[in-house]
Structure 1
Amino acid sequence: MRQVSVLDAIRDGMWDYEPESIAAEEYNATRAMPGTRAKLNVLASRAEQGLPLWHDEDRVSYDDGVDRPPEGE
């Protein structure tokens, strides 16, 4: 069964909806620069899938364009 998104909950009148906690390892970070159409598309896709909007490894600034190795490597 597909995860309920906040958009589904609003549409269905589930006003007390709280999404399940999802570990960052369960979905991908994005290197898309903040404010770009690419980043907005990623955020929209996450919302539609019921995923958290933000990932700890998402790109957060222009200067953050170089891929970082995962923690501990």
Structure 2
Amino acid sequence: MPKHLKKFPRIRTYLELVVENAEAFQTWAIKELKSNNEPLTLNKVKLTAGVIQIPEEYLLEILSTPPKKS
């Protein structure tokens, strides 16, 4: 988060609650592709997540890790 948010602790706390981290968003993209029975390729995940510059090693790690039970 930007440095100037230190001056606004209540706003910073709210943003931390509502803003998704990158891993959660990429996990959502993978679940979305699986639910639509689409192939899980690196490019499909990147396009669905709307992020092109995701390191491929990181995505391969996410794809090979079993999902966490919530």
TM bucket normalised to smaller: under 0.3
Kindly indicate whether structure 1 or structure 2 has the higher relative contact order, using CA contacts under 8 Å at least 6 residues apart: 1
Q: Which protein is richer in helix relative to its size?
A: 2
Greater gyration radius: 2
